[in-house]
Amino acid sequence: DQQVKQNSPSLSVQEGRISILNCDYTNSMFDYFLWYKKYPAEGPTFLISISSIKDKNEDGRFTVFLNKSAKHLSLHIVPSQPGDSAVYFCAARTSGTYKYIFGTGTRLKVLA
Amino acid sequence: DTGVSQDPRHKITKRGQNVTFRCDPISEHNRLYWYRQTLGQGPEFLTYFQNEAQLEKSRLLSDRFSAERPKGSFSTLEIQRTEQGDSAMYLCASRTTGAHSYNEQFFGPGTRLTVL
């Protein structure tokens, strides 16, 4: 049972344009969501998070949007840079638990 | 502090052998996680430690898997009688206590296990 789903395995975007990565979840008990970035031969790196009490969180070029009614979150990267090329994972957690549930990842390629 | 380290980075073993991996978390981090990642999948939770206490263990973790964190610092993950299905990247992550985003998990580079 895949509770966190990233339905697009890959995405290509031109440098300078917006990258939008999507994530859907099924468990309504999730109340904290995160995005991680992973380069080859490295572990995932935390990027940005959002609590379910918010619908938007922004950090520099990265913005995460949460739509609780649709059980959907998205990561916007503006402007996209070639160094953003990586695999992006969304993850979710329920307060009071220790387990993070990850999606299958989306490979972003930013073309120069 | 150079971050979370894992040893070895690669391990090739024959089916039926036992293997042990080590994770050294960031020194002030009291929380430690183990994950398994297979090709095309995201990290899959295996177990969680707070200090030396193992507080949660995935049902996916068979009896052949055991993890320890004896002094609340480094941790080991042992797989007994390895099977080809155990081939994966094993990731360790650590974090401090607290709900702030800067307290989120820091991952190590992983140990890639290949079972022949």
pLDDT given at position B42: 94
Question: A46: Cβ–Cβ under 8 A, 6 or more apart, which residues?
Answer: A34, A36, B101, B104, B105, B106
Q: Place B1 in a pLDDT band, splitting at 50, 70 and 90.
A: low
> Mean pLDDT, to the nearest integer, of B58-75?
90
B4 in contact with A, Cβ within 8 Å: yes
- Per-residue pLDDT, A62: 97
**What is the mean predicted confidence (pLDDT) over A59-73?**
97
Contacts of B48 in chain A (CB under 8 A): 98-99
CB-CB neighbours of B40 under 10 Å: 8
A25 at B interface, C-beta within 8 A: no
Q: How confident is the model at residue A98 (pLDDT cuts 50, 70, 90)?
A: confident
Cβ <8 Å between A99 and B56: yes
A15: left (phi over 0), alpha (psi -120 to 50) or beta: beta
Q: Decide if A62 touches B, using CB distance below 8 A.
A: no
Across the interface, of B31, B40, B91, the residue whose CB is closest to A104 is: B40
Look at residue A1 in the predicted model and tell me its pLDDT: 66
A101 near B CB under 8 A: yes
pLDDT number for residue A13:
97
**A46 vs B contacts (CB less than 8 Å):** 101, 104-106
For residue range A8-65, list pLDDT tens digits in order.
999 999 999 999 999 999 999 999 999 999 999 899 999 999 999 999 999 999 999 9
Task: Identify whether the C-beta of residue A98 lies closer than 8 Å to the C-beta of residue B55.
Answer: yes
Say whether pLDDT at B99 is over 80. Answer: no
Q: Tell me how crowded residue A92 is: count the other CB atoms within 10 A of its CB.
A: 24
Segment (H or E) for B13: strand B10-13
Higher pLDDT among residues B62 and B27, named by residue: B27
Q: Is B67 left (phi over 0), alpha (psi -120 to 50) or beta?
A: beta
Residues above pLDDT 90, as percent of chain B: 76
Show which of residues 24-53 on chain B sit within 8 Å of chain A, judged by CB atoms: 31, 33, 35, 40-45, 48, 50
Confidence of residue B61 (pLDDT cuts 50, 70, 90): confident
pLDDT band at A95 (very low <50, low <70, confident <90, very high): confident
Q: Which two tokens stand for residue B97?
A: 């206590």
**Residue from the list B55, B91, B108 with its beta carbon closest to the beta carbon of A98:** B55
